[in-house]
């Protein structure tokens, strides 16, 4: 049988989700916990490869097993062997051909900005702080230019290995609550650092540091024309979206409720 799990984590002290040789990753922590529970070496599939310092509210991972345990025992057993910065929230049985990454229809991220002259003491590891005036209306207007299918060469890192820079932005929502600005992006897939470069460019335009529009930057297909890469700590992976029959509870959460100022 195949099981799929939904997990959240604080990515501050991890090198990213994917296992690495000389650094601590979320994947390694989960697989170590699974070994304690099952006494077997288990390799998991996962929905999104978040980078170092990036957080997740609904990351999905799956694996095949013949071990019979009820769902609560799976969740409790894994959590009892995980660090406090990772929490498994739910588990469900899925079809044998389910794959956390390849079965996903799309994925969503939210980037959180704190725009204030004073530092966000209690949220410093979870937001990108900018003490310069950010024109919120400018961000909203420019963000709409991302919607649709585009070549995102201008918004990929030099280390991006994807063969196809064309991605479809299905929706983008920009909201403000007190000093927090939330940019939520849903796409079929993302390039390396794509959301962080998109956000950094929107902020640079909204502060008047870049005079070009998002539309013009997309057409240039040149990373040098875009803005700075926003810091990793403000980025949250909200999770993937699957067909309903998979019964994976990984919705786009209202992340605004998690932040108060």
- Residues assigned a catalytic role: 51
| Buried b or exposed e, range 170-179, using 16+ CB within 10 angstroms | bebebebeeb
Q: Give the residue from 261, 253, 259, 221 showing the smallest Cα distance to 89.
A: 253
Which residues have C-beta within 8 Å of that of residue 27, sequence separation ≥ 6?
17, 18, 19, 44, 46, 61
| Residue at token pair 């024109």 | 135
Distance CA 84, CA 81 (A): 9
Distance CA 112, CA 222 (A): 26
Which residues have C-beta within 8 Å of that of residue 10, sequence separation ≥ 6?
55, 85, 86, 125, 126
Distance CA 226, CA 251 (A): 31
Within the chain, how many helices (H) and strands (E) appear? 5, 10
Length of the chain as a residue count: 261
Distance CA 131, CA 76 (A): 42
The CA-based angle 48-54-56, given to 5 degrees, is 60
Distance CA 29, CA 46 (A): 13
């Amino acid at each position: 049988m195949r099981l799929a799990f939904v997990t959240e984590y604080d990515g501050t002290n991890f090198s990213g989700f994917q296992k690495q040789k000389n650094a601590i990753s979320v994947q390694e922590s989960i697989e170590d916990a699974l070994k304690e529970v099952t006494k077997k070496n288990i390799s998991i599939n996962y929905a999104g490869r978040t980078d170092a310092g990036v957080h997740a509210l609904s990351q999905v991972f799956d694996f095949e097993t013949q071990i019979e345990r009820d769902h609560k025992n799976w969740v409790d057993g894994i959590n009892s062997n995980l660090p406090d910065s990772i929490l498994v929230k739910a588990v469900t049985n899925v079809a044998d051909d389910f794959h956390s990454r390849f079965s996903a229809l799309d994925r969503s991220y939210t980037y959180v900005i704190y725009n204030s002259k004073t530092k966000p003491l209690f949220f410093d590891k979870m937001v990108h702080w900018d003490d310069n005036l950010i024109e919120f209306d400018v961000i909203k207007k420019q963000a709409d230019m991302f919607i649709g299918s585009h070549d995102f060469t201008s918004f990929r890192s030099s280390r991006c290995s994807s063969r196809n820079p064309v991605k479809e932005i299905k929706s983008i929502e920009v909201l403000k609550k007190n000093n927090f600005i939330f940019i939520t992006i849903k796409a079929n897939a993302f390039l390396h650092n794509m959301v962080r470069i998109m956000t950094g460019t929107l902020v640079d335009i909204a502060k008047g540091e870049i005079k070009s529009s998002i539309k013009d930057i997309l057409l240039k297909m040149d990373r040098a024309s875009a803005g700075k890469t926003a810091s990793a700590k403000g980025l949250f992976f909200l999770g993937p979206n699957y067909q309903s029959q998979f019964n994976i509870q990984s919705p786009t959460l209202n992340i605004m409720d998690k932040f108060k100022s």
